[in-house]
A and B are shown apart, each in its own frame.
Chain A
Amino acid sequence: MSLSQSARAASAAESRFRITRPIAPARNARVIALDRAAEAVARRVAARSWAAARFYACGEAAEGRPPEALALFGLDGVPPVALREVLAGTDVVVVLAAGDAGSRQAAAIGAACGARAVTTAGVVLGDGFEADEAVAALRPYARVLLLSADEADVVELLTALRV
């Protein structure tokens, strides 16, 4: 140990030591369900207590309109709002998919998040990965795709991210 160092974790107790300081929620997350089945999952997850996460379902992706114009419906009853507004001020979007119905929306969300440097994660639910097209649409943008048969993964992911 060099002389300038005043402490070293020479015992298990010292190794355990950490400065105690409250940890603020790290993420201002948006959770977006791409299809009806995913929306049902999102509603169940949204019913839990979260620090700052907001939950949305997708409207139709209109052809010819920019991705940011995609309409989203807040699961807490707020009026439809454009994707660009949902993304304002967030740094992580978690997209939920249980089928291919939302693959066009997936691409729109991915592109919009990519353009804004918003980290994107996808949770694709289903035993047989019925959401192949949604996965393919998300793949270029989603930093992580969690292919899962277990909707509890959504809760686990959001909890781990402190949203």
Chain B
Amino acid sequence: MLRRDINELLTQTGPGTPMGELFRQYWIPALLAEELPENDSPPVRVKLLSERMVAFRDSEGRYGLVDEFCAHRGASLWFGRNEGSGLRCPYHGWKYDVTGQCVEVPSEADNSSFCQNVQLTAYPLVKVGDLLWTYMGDAAEQPPLPEFEFVQVPPEQTYTSKRWQQSNWLQAFEGGIDSSHVTFLHSGGLKTDPLFKGAKGNEYNMKDTKPFFEVADSEGGLFVGARRNAEPGTYYWRITPWVMPAFTMVPPRGDHPVHGHFWVPIDDENCWTYSFDYHPVRALTDQERQAMVDGHGVHSRNIPGTYRPAANMDNDYLIDREAQKRGDTYSGVAGIAMQDASLQESMGPIVDRTKERLVPADSGIIKARQKLRKAAIALRDEGVRPPGVDPVHHRVRSAAVVLPQAESFLDSCRDAVTVTPGVAQSSV
């Protein structure tokens, strides 16, 4: 359980809130690069941390993320004309560049300096990997760009999708460090999902349904180790890294690509789930990439032209009770992503954590909440820069290994959980 005031602290990310300010210390995904595919392509509405903005790519290929509403009369710039190196409000023709600077007010006299004093709130928008990242904090404190491995490998080795999740970011994120649900909720996928099946590690997962956990601090967040019995005298460890505030990875399976998530608050009752797959040393195969596009693995099949999953709360996630009864899926909902999302959304937009009945196996979640709270308060009260801002903290990997029972996963897997370019993931 969590006190009501702490639950509110962790789940509210609007401007001026402690968690909102914490998120504003980091580069966070704002949208997929595919959403602004070419110069002067249509602008895109972007809501992040409860701020409404519009993203656009100007005639020179520069990206901008600016206040959605025109400074003149408050019309949405989503209706704007993206032309001539700026976004022009179609109402009265006011035009803005990617920094939010007003560069033209047609009703003013030629050479008027009026527009120089009109500036929309704007944030940097930078392409790193398949994502456009923004930093919404104090410009003077802007950290170096993110260095997560999934955006550092060559394009042919990585794939990222996103989906709208109708819940607060925290309950979505908490699923990312909750290894104990995998054996139940995702058990069908271990046998059938093309991006999961066939790994030796899956057998350990299915044979030992009561994992033990070890939770340890890392420089950027946590490592959560889930341990299951393997061959006599050995344990099968699945190691999940969390980098603050909202980056998690799933331990790999065999030579399948490695996957993970970035959980980004839209507002307090919605979030974006960015889901990625990459392979550290080889290109994704056509079959793998197609499986990701089709919504397998951690990805979702979305309504065409949108990032809303085709299976969603309005259609009860297309639950199939016969598939549940047959054991094809454990919950009746198809796909790893929507199995998670359906249950997390069912908890309500912001789950009331004062009513929880947690157990020791939830220690990773308990510890993560504590780290978030402490970081938010230390930032608010003392200006302490939180873990996870330094790109060095981004260079982590998940791992799946078999170790002798006496060995500590932390001591034995330091190399395995650290990014080494050109070296494959540690996986079973």
Q: A-side interface residues toward B, CB under 8 Å? A: 1, 9, 12, 15-16, 18, 23, 26, 92, 94, 119-121, 129, 132, 135-136, 139-140, 142-150, 152-153, 156-157, 159-162
Whether A161 contacts B360 in the complex (CB less than 8 A), given A132-B408, A143-B212, comes out as: yes
B1-22 Cβ-contact flags toward A at 8 Å (1 or 0) = 1100000000000000000000
CB-CB under 8 A from B358, the residues of chain A are 160-162
Pick from B214, B215, B360 the residue with the most CB of A within 10 Å: B360
Interface membership of B84, Cβ < 8 A:
no
Checking A16, A146, A147, A161 against B359 with a beta-carbon cut-off of 8 angstroms, the contacting residue is A161
With most chain B CB atoms within 10 A of its CB, the pick from A9, A15, A150 is A15
Q: Would you list 11 pairs from A and B whose C-beta atoms are within 8 A, ordered by A residue?
A: A16-B350, A136-B406, A142-B212, A143-B213, A144-B360, A144-B361, A148-B367, A153-B370, A156-B367, A156-B370, A160-B1
Contact A144 B212 (CB under 8 A): yes
Given A15-B348, A148-B215, A160-B356, 13 extra CB contacts under 8 A: A1-B316, A12-B269, A12-B348, A16-B348, A143-B361, A144-B213, A145-B213, A145-B215, A150-B370, A152-B374, A156-B367, A156-B369, A159-B1
Across the interface, A147 reaches (CB within 8 A) one of B212, B214, B349, B366, namely B214
Residue on B nearest A20 in the bound complex, by CB = B355
Q: How far is the CB of A84 from chain B (nearest CB, A)?
A: 22
| B366/A160 in contact, CB under 8 A | yes
Query: A95 CB to closest chain B CB, in angstroms?
Result: 11
Is A143 within 8 A of B357, CB to CB? no
Say yes or no for B216: interface residue by CB 8 A criterion.
yes
* A98-B328 Cα distance, complex, nearest whole Å: 46
- Do residues B215 and A147 form an inter-chain contact, with CB atoms below 8 A? yes
* Interchain CA distance A150-B349 in the complex, whole Å: 31
In the complex, the answer to whether A23 meets B349 with C-beta atoms within 8 Å is no
In this complex, the member of A139, A149, A152 whose beta carbon has the largest number of chain B beta carbons within 10 angstroms is: A139
Decide: B408 and A135 in contact? CB cutoff 8 A.
yes
In the complex, chain B residues whose CB is within 8 Å of the CB of A160 = 1-2, 356, 358, 362, 366
Residues of A within 8 A of B215 (CB): 144-148
B187-230 contacts to A, CB under 8 A, are 212-217
Does B138 count as interface, using CB distance less than 8 angstroms?
no
Question: How long is the Cα–Cα vector from A1 to B360 in the complex, in angstroms?
Answer: 36
Question: Which residues from A are CB-within-8-Å of B408?
Answer: 129, 132, 135-136
Instruction: Specify which chain B residues have a CB less than 8 angstroms from the CB of A150 in the assembled complex.
Output: 217, 370
Shortest C-beta distance, A48 to chain B (Å), equals: 14
Q: A140-B405, A148-B217, A156-B370 are in contact. Are A162 and B357 (CB under 8 A)?
A: yes
When distances are taken between beta carbons in the complex, the residues of chain B under 8 Å from A94 are 360
In the bound complex, do residue A153 and residue B367 qualify as a contact, i.e. CB atoms below 8 Å apart?
A: yes
On whether the beta carbons of A149 and B360 are closer than 8 Å, the reply is no
Q: Which residues of B contact A161 (CB under 8 A)?
A: 358-360
* A146 surroundings in chain B (CB, below 8 A): 214-215, 363, 367
Q: Given the complex of chains A and B, what is the CA–CA distance between A130 and B212 in angstroms?
A: 21
Query: Closest residue to B353 on the A side, CB-wise?
Result: A160
- In the complex the two chains form, what is the Cα distance from A125 to B185 in whole Å? 33
> Which 9 interchain pairs have the tightest Cβ spacing?
A121-B360, A15-B348, A147-B216, A144-B360, A145-B214, A144-B363, A160-B358, A160-B366, A144-B213
Cα distance A12–B26 when bound, in Å? 29
Nearest chain A CB to B313 CB, angstrom units: 8
In the complex, A84 Cα to B361 Cα: how many Å? 24
Does residue B410 face the partner (Cβ distance < 8 Å to A)? yes
Shortest C-beta distance, A103 to chain B (Å), equals 13
Inter-chain contact B1/A162, CB cutoff 8 Å: yes
Q: Is B352 an interface residue (CB 8 A)?
A: yes
User: Which residue among B2, B316, B366 has the maximum number of chain A CB atoms within 10 Å of its CB?
Assistant: B366
